[in-house]
Structure 1
Amino acid sequence: MGGGLAAAVLLFLLTAWIGSSLPRNADWTEPAGGIRIMVETNGIHTAIVMPLVTPQKDWRGDFPASDLAGPDPDYTHVSVSWGERAVFLDTPTWADLSPASTLRAATGSEGLLHVAHYVRPAPGDATRTLTLRPAEYARLVAHIERQMVPPEARRHYPGYADWDVFYTARGRYDWRNTCNQWTADALAAAGVRVGRWSPFAGGVMKWVPSPQS
């Protein structure tokens, strides 16, 4: 029994490594100029950081600061990610993650959007920058919009701090469609080179050069 479980885990890890190493949009090159976004990670979860306002999109209508516990008129960026409802709402720290929550997430559960508001976020190894052409950024925006529930039909929940919030969203989370796969799919929709199946954060971040590289 134990040997079979260990073999299944190893197979999953190997498949994830292979899947995240097979590129989509293999010919993509980063332009010298355009719209700068960021891909951020805490080592487990990834998110896409975008300017609050560009000619392609003004996020203030979709993610108003009034939904936050601490509205700030100086916000310049929004960080958007997607994940499993119970993991987002019931685990303020990773130490709070229970086996039951993990099993429920792996087998299928409701997804939520997590939106954080930033003021001039600084690039670093955990917050890496990518430059997109205007048309690529427009495709990224359109992909994210398709995951959103219209403001009049959605619910929102308090975040971890004064500057973030959760929203009901489309999509079902399971072991094949994780938070990191959501990030990879959004980048791929824009045309960015990224792995085909990336259930883990490292599978996403290895396609985004760090400032030190």
Structure 2
Amino acid sequence: MRKALRILARIVLLVLAALVVGTFMPRPLLGPLQGGAPIEASPRHILVLTNPIHTDIAVPIDAAVLQRFGFLRDNGIQTDLPEARYLVFGWGSKAFYIGTPTWSELKLGPVLAAFTLDDSVMHVDLAGSIALPQPTVSRFDVSDAGFEALLAFIEASFTRGPNGPQSIPGVAYGAFDGFFEANGKFNAFAGCNTWTAAALREAGLTTGWWNPLPVTLNWSLGLYNAPSSAQPGGVQP
């Protein structure tokens, strides 16, 4: 019994050490990835939306974004609503993401699937104006090149069939969102927040080396990236 406890304690210490190193070691280590060009006088911006276990990326809607993600409208997501200001993208465990719309619906099966190996899905939602500051939303300015690289990364995350990205019929949290089949396998070590971090690096931001948790991702983003130029009290559409 004592031997098992010692092994467990070592595993816990290793995980904690990995979290610390993953948070405070910057990635990229020597400089920005593609998309990290100097920010223009009128920069693009993106938002990172956070809940206790998951992060999403919100992209401002404009004509070019609507054209690029036109398949969303074809699959019932009303991207052209006048009130819509952002497309919100998230990647995650198929079993957990679809099976847990609210915390009250948490079940053991989806949790176990997420901690082992599961298929992945993309979740897409709409958002209106989002006021700042608030603790669950962070705004980052990016260059045009970074914005384009981010969109390319998001687009490549969708599984494509003969007719384009493959929606999952009849599955949604509400009237303005939907799920799509995604590329990649999900597990607890390479999950939704590591996907968000990879996407943000494509946009030219620096993250920690390994950020499986929202809190460590947000710490690293705050450490290594300049604050947004947004004025307090609101987000420019």
Shift of 1:2: 4.8
Structure 1 spans left out of the alignment, 5+ residues: none
| Aligned partner (choices 71, 86, 98) of residue 95 of structure 2 | 86
Deviations 1:147-205 (A, max 9, x none): 11237251224321222211111111012211000000011122211111110011211
Task: Give yes or no for the alignment of 1:112 onto 2:121.
Answer: yes
Which stretch shifts more, 106-115 or 200-209?
200-209
SS in 1 for 2:149: helix
SS in 1 for 2:70: coil
| Aligned partner (choices 185, 196, 204) of residue 191 of structure 1 | 204
Contact 1:33 1:131 in 2 (8 A): no
Aligned to 1:125: 135
TM-score by length of 2: 0.77
Deviations 1:97-150 (A, max 9, x none): 334322221221100001110112223221110010000111111111111123
SS in 1 for 2:81: coil
Aligned to 1:12: 15
Whose Rg is larger?
A: 2
Shift of 1:56: 6.7
| Aligned partner (choices 160, 167, 187) of residue 155 of structure 1 | 167
Aligned to 2:27: 24
Structure-to-structure mapping, 1:137-176, within 5 angstroms: 137-150=147-160, 152-153=163-164, 154-157=166-169, 158-176=171-189
Shift of 1:34: 0.9
Contact 1:56 1:138 in 2 (8 A): no
Aligned length: 212
SS in 2 for 1:140: helix
1:131 partner amino acid: D
Looking at structure 2, the residues matched to 170 and 7 of structure 1 have their Cα atoms a distance apart, in angstroms, of: 34
TM-score by length of 1: 0.85
2:27 partner amino acid: R
Shift of 1:39: 0.5
2:156 partner amino acid: R
Looking at structure 2, the residues matched to 69 and 142 of structure 1 have their Cα atoms a distance apart, in angstroms, of: 21
SS in 2 for 1:92: coil
Contact 1:140 1:190 in 2 (8 A): yes
Distance 1:193 1:108, change over 3 A: same
Structure 2 spans left out of the alignment, 5+ residues: 233-237
